[in-house]
Amino acid sequence: MLSYILRRALYGVLILIGVNLFTFVLFFTVNTPDDMARLNIGGKRVTQEAIEKWKVERGYDKPLLYNARDDGLRALSNTIFFERSVQLFALRFGASDSGRDIGYEIRQRIGPSLAVALPTFALGVMATVCAALLMVFFRATYLDFWGVTLAVVMMSISSLFYIIVGQWTFSTLLRLVPISGFAGGWDLFKFLALPVVIGVVARLGYDALLYRTMFLEESGKDYVRTARAKGLSEQAVLFRHVLRNAALPILTSTVAVLPLLFLGSLIMESFFGIPGLGSYTIDAINAQDFAVVRAMVFLGSALYIVGLVLTDISYTVADPRIRLA
Amino acid sequence: MPKIVLLATDVALLVLLAGLAAYVWHVRRTPGLRATWRSVLRDAPAMSALVLLSVCLLIALLDSLHFRPLLPQAAGAANDAAAAYSTRSYSVLDQLLKRQLEGTEKTYSAPLAYRQFTKDSIEIDGRAARDYPRLVHGGAHLTDPERQWLADLVLRSAAGLAGGLLAGLSMALAVVALRARMLREDFSAAWRAVWRRETEVQWRAILFTAILLLGAFGWIAALWSVYHVLGTDRTGNDVLFQAIKSLRTAVVIGSLATLATLPFAIVFGILAGYFKGWVDDLIQYLYTVLSSIPSVLLIAACVLIIQVTIDKYPNLYETGLERADLRLLLLCVVLGVTGWATLCRLLRAETLKLTELDYVQAARAFGVSDLGIMQRHVLPNVMHVVLIVAVLDFSSLVLYEAVLSYVGVGVDPTTPSYGSMFNLARTEMSRDPTVWWNLVAAFGFMLTLVLSANLFAGAVREAFDPRARAFRPRRDQRQPGGARRHGSRETAIAPAGGAP
């Protein structure tokens, strides 16, 4: 078990190296620092001096891989590759192109991101499981049919529409909650209520259909037939047998996305003015701040890999049939 | 003679349509596939969706035939002077809806309004005053709008609706008559068969949708020639026109981006599943790396780089439209290159299963080359997975475009798209009084497109994936022709394609 986890973790590191090399190629060779400077300074006629100055200010004036002017290890470490890519493994993100410390920003913003993402996720899973169970309990009736129809319609609506209409109805029209913003203490609930509810509703259609399929697949199995044959009530079959077995894939799939919650939601945060990592990323994309985008790519894939390893562990914990060698 | 302009996405879309036509021809010739598709044709919601989808596709196609009109000769020019073409490209759709394209107002106006939405200084009886000015085009034919407007609206709506419904009904009658002729039945028997849903193809659903659609067309056409049916946006452009133009962007993104994933997914998926060993390890590593990067960030990074490249090589395009189009195409490519991991994983698993089967072992024993086995025995038998994933991806990509445009890494700001309409709507909804029509237009069109794509995809999945059929909410069990349905299900379970 331990050796298996170790092996998976090592594989994760290997993948992180791949991600790192990939982003390095994407950001520094396909697209040279000169191009970045030109895009950032903007305007039609950018002088070479301005570009050089921009690069020196941000430390992009070094050679990419090998610094011939230094000797020894410095020849390798005093390069863009070492300073910008290798340092990421130590979670040293460096300064953004606008000169702020990325690591500090991330630490500041991870809290608000989680404050939105965690309740959205937890309530979302609960609501989805309830909706799916309801449809399965009343399967092959009008309730099931219209439930599925409603779910298909709901998943065909853009999440942007939910947000815009939700904000308009509850903030502009009914004035129940503030339209956007973020504050600590008890005000937090007021600010978070709407984004959380909208986040749950926007995903409900798609996820409910998915879970309904999982439950139905499970309820077609032999042990369910046995349970029915021995005279168990439908409730007992559904809650004691089907739910418990179908919870396995649900559990593992939720474990996989748990770490990604740290990244927050791009759209929610920017619509509701929550100072989390999602809105940080969007601002960086709009300001074409490549340093921040690179840092977030690295952070995102690192969290994804943590999720992968956690999934493997949760399989063995939750399902006694699975033994990992 | 106007000069024909071939944009990159135009060509891609035309090739795609040709490919679609070739696939339909292939299905007609292959009995196994034909039987499977027949169960899609019997699905009423899917057929209604197909009608809507074809209309969307047709509009996208009309909007993809671009040309630059010939400019009239300048007065003093020599007779043999070279012909000058307009610097703007128009599409056939622009030409058909020329009045809507050019009938712009100054700024916002509500749906069907004859006055502007905001006050402006105008001259009344020689004195300057602030009031809501009359629109230049919307309701310009009314001499006394306060009294005529409602009557005019009702009259035109009734006429348009009646005309459209009448056209739809006569078309339905014509189809039924044609059917009766071909089957050598008398008309009433054919009508009864259609009405009782006893036909092979769900004609009742198709005709019903078509009649409603034509009614709506008639209604809109009658009003659109003199009003802005869904109002105008901030710069005075007709919102309905914008929404229709955005259909092309949505269809292009949905279809081309899906198409762009296919080569990577199919080649890598089959190679990994067939060769196993280090090839499998390498490909798995590749797609795990790709899928570990949050997709929005990966796309954002690629699009930022595309922007740099486009700015660096300005001679790749001649007009602003071509530049925007190039960006659209590259966006599709980026979506394809970053999005193949899911399908690749499914194909790898399917290929792993297939290579253990007897007929592949037999082919190997007979000395068929690896490439031959993959081409002849593996590829046709994983195509149903490809098809299911492709149709499912279409709708999610259309939705994704709106998100990407909001983040600022979507299509060019000059390209009409639902994402940019939502973006505008965000600020408009906080105005007082609310400007709601941009949001409603984008919502309505997008919902229609995505919902029909989802319904169609559902039917396709049910037809090609035998497992999915158990999950259908059963309501239509009293369907006649049940025995036939069962028969076709048996054949549908056999893998698509004729290899084994």
Tokens of B35: 């039987």
Residue B492 backbone phi and psi in degrees, to 5: -70, -25
Residues in B closer than 8 angstroms to A27, CB to CB, are 301, 305
* Contact between chains at A297 and B301 (C-beta distance less than 8 A): yes
Name the burial class of residue B478, with classes exposed (0-12), middle (13-18) and buried (19+) by CB atoms within 10 angstroms of its CB: exposed
Write down the pLDDT at residue A226. 92
Residue B489 has pLDDT above 60, yes or no: no
First to last CA, chain A: 6
Give residues 351 to 410 of B whose Cβ lies within 8 Å of A: 395, 399, 402-403, 406-409
pLDDT digits (tens, 9 = 90+) for A149-194: 999 999 999 999 999 999 888 888 888 888 777 877 777 888 888 9
Interface check B246 vs A, CB under 8 A: no
Q: What is the mean pLDDT of residues B272-286?
A: 91
User: Do residues B172 and B210 touch, judged by C-beta distance below 8 A?
Assistant: yes
3-state secondary structure chain B: CCEEECCHHHHHHHHHHHHHHHHHHHHHHCHHHHHHHHHHHCCHHHHHHHHHHHHHHHHHHHCCCEEECECCCCCCCCCCCCCCECCCCEEHHHHHCHHHHHCCCCCCECCCCCECCCCEEEEECCEEEEECCECCCCCCCCCCHHHHHHHHHHHHHHHHHHHHHHHHHHHHHHHHHHHHHHHCCCHHHHHHHHHCCCCCCCHHHHHHHHHHHHHHHHHHHHHHCCCCCCCECCCCCEHHHHHHHHHHHHHHHHHHHHHHHHHHHHHHHHHHHHHCHHHHHHHHHHHHHHHHCCHHHHHHHHHHHHHHHHHHCHHHCCCHHHHHHHHHHHHHHHHHHHCCHHHHHHHHHHHHHHHCCHHHHHHHHCCCCHHHHHHHHHHHHHHHHHHHHHHHHHHHHHHHHHHHHHHCCCCCCCCCCHHHHHHHHHHHCCCCCCCCHHHHHHHHHHHHHHHHHHHHHHHHHHHHCHHHHHHCCCCCCCCCCHHHHHHHHHHHHCCCCCCC
* Contact between chains at B409 and A168 (C-beta distance less than 8 A): no
Residue A126 backbone phi and psi in degrees, to 5: -60, -50
Q: What is the mean pLDDT of residues B456-466?
A: 88
| Selected residue with higher pLDDT from B433 and A123 | A123
Closest CB to B454 among A155, A217, A294: A155
Distance (Å) of CA B437 to CA A110, A113, A185, B64, B115: 37, 33, 38, 26, 16
* Contact between chains at A156 and B450 (C-beta distance less than 8 A): yes
Task: Compute CA B7 distance to the chain's CA centroid, rounded to the nearest angstrom.
Answer: 18
CATH number at residue B363: 1.10.3720.10
Instruction: Please indicate, yes or no, if residue B109 is contained in any of the structural domains.
Output: no
* Contact between chains at A297 and B422 (C-beta distance less than 8 A): no
* Contact between chains at A288 and B285 (C-beta distance less than 8 A): no
Residue spans of alpha helices (H) in chain A: 2-24, 33-41, 48-58, 74-77, 80, 102-137, 142-155, 159-167, 187-219, 222-229, 234-236, 243-257, 266-271, 277-286, 290-318
Give the position of tokens 């280090």.
B278
Confidence band (pLDDT; 50, 70, 90) for B482? very low
Task: For residue A95, give the 3-state DSSP assignment.
Answer: strand
User: Do residues B380 and B497 touch, judged by C-beta distance below 8 A?
Assistant: yes
Confidence band (pLDDT; 50, 70, 90) for B256? very high
Distance, in Å, from the CA atom of B497 to the CA atom of B500, rounded to the nearest integer, reads 9
Q: Which one, of B459, B267, B243, B428, lies nearest residue B348 by Cα?
A: B267
pLDDT digits (tens, 9 = 90+) for B123-149: 777 778 888 888 888 777 888 878 888
User: Do residues A271 and A163 touch, judged by C-beta distance below 8 A?
Assistant: yes
Closest CB to A158 among B291, B312, B422: B422
Q: Which one, of B314, B274, B490, B307, lies nearest residue B413 by Cα?
A: B307
Tell me how close the Cα of A40 comes to any Cα of chain B, in angstroms: 10
Q: Which one, of B381, B495, B500, lies nearest residue B36 by Cα?
A: B495
* Contact between chains at A293 and B402 (C-beta distance less than 8 A): no
Residue B5 backbone phi and psi in degrees, to 5: -110, 125
B424: nearest CA partner in chain A: A164
* Contact between chains at B454 and A156 (C-beta distance less than 8 A): yes
Q: Which one, of B209, B242, B266, B290, lies nearest residue B452 by Cα?
A: B209
Residues in B closer than 8 angstroms to A153, CB to CB, are 447, 451
Tell me how close the Cα of A69 comes to any Cα of chain B, in angstroms: 30
Q: Which residues contact B476 (CB under 8 A, 6 or more apart)?
A: B44
A256: nearest CA partner in chain B: B292
Our CA angle for A53, A59, A63, nearest 5°, is: 100
Q: Kindly give the pairing relationship between strand B120-124 and strand B127-131.
A: antiparallel
Instruction: Please indicate, yes or no, if residue B372 is contained in any of the structural domains.
Output: yes
Q: Which residues contact A16 (CB under 8 A, 6 or more apart)?
A: A89, A298, A301, A302, A305
User: Do residues B459 and B388 touch, judged by C-beta distance below 8 A?
Assistant: no
Distance, in Å, from the CA atom of A148 to the CA atom of A142, rounded to the nearest integer, reads 10
Task: For residue A264, give the 3-state DSSP assignment.
Answer: coil
Task: Compute CA A228 distance to the chain's CA centroid, rounded to the nearest angstrom.
Answer: 41
ipTM exceeds 0.90, yes or no: no
User: Do residues A218 and A138 touch, judged by C-beta distance below 8 A?
Assistant: no
**Structural domain of B453:** 240-464
Instruction: Please indicate, yes or no, if residue B15 is contained in any of the structural domains.
Output: no
Residues in B closer than 8 angstroms to A304, CB to CB, are 291-294
Instruction: Please indicate, yes or no, if residue B93 is contained in any of the structural domains.
Output: no
Instruction: Please indicate, yes or no, if residue B436 is contained in any of the structural domains.
Output: yes
Interface check B433 vs A, CB under 8 A: no
Residues in A closer than 8 angstroms to B296, CB to CB, are 266, 281
Tokens of B26: 């292939």
Instruction: Please indicate, yes or no, if residue B293 is contained in any of the structural domains.
Output: yes
Tell me how close the Cα of A72 comes to any Cα of chain B, in angstroms: 32
Tokens of B372: 């031959």
- Cβ-based contacts under 8 A for chains A and B: 153
Residues in B closer than 8 angstroms to A154, CB to CB, are none
Interface check B304 vs A, CB under 8 A: yes
Q: What is the mean pLDDT of residues B23-39?
A: 90
Residue B194 has pLDDT above 50, yes or no: yes
Interface check B169 vs A, CB under 8 A: no
Instruction: Please indicate, yes or no, if residue B432 is contained in any of the structural domains.
Output: yes
Residues in B closer than 8 angstroms to A139, CB to CB, are 473
Q: How many domains does chain B have?
A: 1
Confidence band (pLDDT; 50, 70, 90) for B497? very low
* Contact between chains at A290 and B304 (C-beta distance less than 8 A): yes
First to last CA, chain B: 54
* Contact between chains at A158 and B298 (C-beta distance less than 8 A): no
Instruction: Please indicate, yes or no, if residue B474 is contained in any of the structural domains.
Output: no
Q: What structural domains and CATH numbers belong to chain A?
A: 2-90 (no CATH), 106-319 (1.10.3720.10)
The structure's pTM equals 0.88
Closest CB to A297 among B297, B446, B471: B297
Q: What is the mean pLDDT of residues B395-405?
A: 90
Mutation target among B288, B440, B450 for the A interface, most CBs of A within 10 A: B288
Mutation target among A158, A175, A271 for the B interface, most CBs of B within 10 A: A158
Closest CB to A266 among B305, B407, B443: B407
Write down the pLDDT at residue B217. 92
pLDDT digits (tens, 9 = 90+) for A281-308: 888 888 878 788 888 888 888 899 889 8
Write down the pLDDT at residue B483. 37
Interface check B282 vs A, CB under 8 A: no
* Contact between chains at B305 and A153 (C-beta distance less than 8 A): no
Over its C-alpha atoms, chain B yields an Rg (Å, rounded) of 27
* Contact between chains at B443 and A157 (C-beta distance less than 8 A): yes
* Candidate from A238-252, B277-291, B434-448 with smallest mean pLDDT: A238-252
Q: What is the mean pLDDT of residues A232-251?
A: 86
Residues in B closer than 8 angstroms to A22, CB to CB, are 289, 293
* Contact between chains at B455 and A14 (C-beta distance less than 8 A): no
Write down the pLDDT at residue A44. 61
Residue B480 has pLDDT above 60, yes or no: no
* Contact between chains at A297 and B434 (C-beta distance less than 8 A): no
* Contact between chains at B311 and A39 (C-beta distance less than 8 A): yes
User: Do residues B290 and B280 touch, judged by C-beta distance below 8 A?
Assistant: no
Distance, in Å, from the CA atom of B178 to the CA atom of B181, rounded to the nearest integer, reads 5
Residues in A closer than 8 angstroms to B458, CB to CB, are 152
Residue B127's CB: how many other CB atoms inside 10 A? 7
Residue A245 has pLDDT above 50, yes or no: yes
Closest CB to A160 among B395, B403, B458: B403
